[in-house]
Amino acid sequence: MASWETMSEHACFGGVQRFHRHASSEIGLPMRFALYLPPQALGGSAQRVPLLVYLAGLTCTEETFTMKAGAQRLASELGLALLMPDTSPRGANLAGEADAWDFGVGAGFYLDATRAPWAAHWRMESYLLEELLPQVAAHAPVDAARTGLFGHSMGGHGALTLALRHPGRFRSVSALAPICAPSECPWGQTAFSGYLGADRSAWDAHDATVLMRTQRAAPYPQGILIDQGLADKFLAEQLHPEAFEIACAAVAQPLTLRRHAGYDHGYYFIASFVDDHLRHHARQLKL
């Protein structure tokens, strides 16, 4: 299976949860990812199944969603493969790399850095689009033409921006508590300044709200789903879903933005609504 090293493998709801490591040519460092294959993709009657890619948030790895969200149960029922890449390059030993844990530069942000020293390895957009997804499509029993994308927080930002930046590549998109306007929040400003420099015009290409404003027609006419907790301590300063909501309305992009009283930013929130997201993607991927 490509040049992937299988680090562990676990039977899970009739399917198999695997954790892999491989040498990434785009990143120039080893990268890890998790792949769940449902029972429909295994055995003598195996078939190619739709693929749903989950992008995790700032302090997470390929293990976080895989182990905490409980998504495999419904993915098994729906016949949906799940791909969970790591969020960021690791092990480059750059000054400031560890600041990812303090919400600074170092977290991947699902873009290609253009500024030294980050540009050498921080190429998460190219890694995902040009390396990992083609490898998974070539070597796993998935149907690349039926690929959906979703994520949480920084990963929600990644899901929205990559879906808008690469029309036709993803058939469905959703997000949980996404960073919707990174150019206007401290997390995004820190990352964009470090990776892209001070020219804010370069930031626009990686800001979901700005990207949606530039659309001439609804890019996802079947609809985008976003869930947001109202007890999320990052909501007012960092996330700005209302800005994305306004941008969607301006171009007639159907958006279901659900606001939930009492829910915070963590994985209890994600686990509470992840099934709705899997069903959202299953409908659009025509399972």
DSSP 170-227: -SEEEEES----GGGSHHHHHHHHHHH-S-HHHHGGG-HHHHHHT-SS-S-TT-EEEE
Mean pLDDT, to the nearest integer, of 179-184?
98
Q: Around Cβ 3, how many Cβ atoms within 10 Å?
A: 10
Mean pLDDT across the chain: 95
Convert the pLDDT of each residue in 136-158 to its tens digit. Answer: 999 999 999 999 999 999 999 99
d(CA 52, CA 171) in angstroms, rounded, equals 10
Residues assigned a catalytic role: 153, 232, 265
Q: What is the pLDDT of residue 104?
A: 54
Mean pLDDT, to the nearest integer, of 237-263?
98
Q: What is the pLDDT of residue 101?
A: 47
Q: Which of 115, 114, 111, 73 is nearest to 89 (CA)?
A: 111
d(CA 94, CA 251) in angstroms, rounded, equals 41
The answer to whether residue 1 scores a pLDDT higher than 70 is no
Mean pLDDT, to the nearest integer, of 68-95?
95
Question: What tokens appear for 33 in the block?
Answer: 């990812």
Q: What is the DSSP letter of 118?
A: G
d(CA 230, CA 35) in angstroms, rounded, equals 31
3-state secondary structure (DSSP) of residue 2: coil
The residue to which tokens 């490591």 are assigned: 21
Q: What is the pLDDT of residue 163?
A: 98
Mean pLDDT, to the nearest integer, of 244-267?
98
Q: Around Cβ 256, how many Cβ atoms within 10 Å?
A: 12
d(CA 61, CA 88) in angstroms, rounded, equals 8
pTM more than 0.95: yes
Q: What is the pLDDT of residue 45?
A: 83
- b/e 211-247 (16+ beta carbons within 10 angstroms → b): bbbebeebbbeebbbbbbbeebebbeebbbbebbbeb
- Region of 240 (left: φ > 0; alpha: ψ -120 to 50; beta: rest) is left
**Band (93; pLDDT cuts 50, 70, 90):** confident
Provide, rounded to the nearest whole percent, the portion of the chain with pLDDT above 70. Answer: 95
Mean pLDDT, to the nearest integer, of 39-66?
95
- Is the CB of residue 185 less than 8 Å from the CB of residue 203? no
